[in-house]
Amino acid sequence: MTALRRTVLPFAGFAVVIAAWWLAATLITGKDVPTPGEVFATAWSGLREPEGLLVDIRLSVVRVLIGVVVGCALSLPVGFALAWFPTLRAMFDPIINFCRALPPIALTPLVIIYLGIGEEARLFVLVWAAFFASVVVLYEGIAAVEDIYVRAGRALGATDLELFRRVIVPATVPQMFVAVRVALGVSWATLVAAELIAAQRGLGAAIQRSASFFRTEEVYAGILLIGVCALLMDIAVRLVQARAVSWQERVVR
């Protein structure tokens, strides 16, 4: 049953939604709603075109990866520092939550003023978003490492450094994966918004371009591809996670 649930049911979910979409597309006549078939065909031809959607996908994926990698590389040491030193946490927790609450896209005008409309500007917004989304997940997770493991480590004779390397870090690995997945999600959302405003290429820019020519099925195709990319990246992280933290106990339902 569980194997069936894991392999078949997710596809069944997609099938239901696609069927509903198809039904809506055939029933609604006044507005421009392309059928799933039209959208898939558009996406497919866009992908096969030289200098077509594949270029946009590559650009967007690379941007998201840079944002997530740099953002998480920054949030990791900051997260550990905040979790380890309560004074730092008390001092910076409010400002971090303030920055996290700002929609990154609201920063774009300022970023354009200071960094121009080049690649640095987009990457800055992405890194910002990935950093603030992941740092909170990280330090809350690290601070919540069960006290019992820390005590056990100390009672066995661990120094602070040994405690950090051999208890806190391994105990936090699951939380690191959560942080990466959160950062990925936020980065995709931010990237598209950033590309909608100022970019020549990329999936967000492609959607914007198509919309200005009223090519609805291309807009749908762009959205579809963003979803597929984000989903595939999330699946990749989850596969790595399943191997890296196979020690974790799962509540079986």
Partner 1 sequence: MSGDTGSARISFDDVHVGFGRGAKRVEVIDGVSFDVGAGEFVSVLGPSGCGKSTLLNMAAGFLAADAGEARFDGERITRPDSRRGVVFQQYAIFPWLSVEKNIAFGLTLKRNRRSRAETEESVRRYIGLMGLDGFEKSLPKQLSGGMRQRVALARAYATDPDVLLLDEPFAALDAQTREFMQELLHEASQAERRAAMLITHSVEEAIYLSHRIVVLGNRPTTVHEVIDVDVPWPRSPESRLQPEFLELRGHLEGVMRSLSGSAFRKAHP
The one among 157, 212, 235, 251 contacting partner 1 by CB under 8 A = 157
Cβ of residue 247: shortest distance to partner 1, in angstroms? 5
Cβ of residue 155: shortest distance to partner 1, in angstroms? 4
> By CB under 8 A, is residue 154 in contact with partner 1?
yes
Nearer to partner 1, 120 or 162 (CB): 162
HSE, side-chain direction, 13 A CA sphere, residue 200: 6
HSE, side-chain direction, 13 A CA sphere, residue 80: 17
Cβ of residue 240: shortest distance to partner 1, in angstroms? 16
> By CB under 8 A, is residue 149 in contact with partner 1?
yes
The one among 116, 151, 160, 231 contacting partner 1 by CB under 8 A = 151
| Pick from 35, 39, 9: nearest CA to 21 | 35
> By CB under 8 A, is residue 155 in contact with partner 1?
yes
Nearer to partner 1, 48 or 166 (CB): 166
The CA distance from 248 to 253, in Å, is: 15
Show the binding pattern over residues 221-250: x = contacts partner 1 (CB under 8 A), - = does not.
Answer: ------------------------xxxxx-
Could you say which residues in the range 159-188 bind partner 1, by CB under 8 A?
Answer: 159, 162, 166-167, 170-171, 173
Task: Give the interface with partner 1 as residue ranges (CB under 8 A).
Answer: 148-149, 151-159, 162, 166-167, 170-171, 173, 245-249
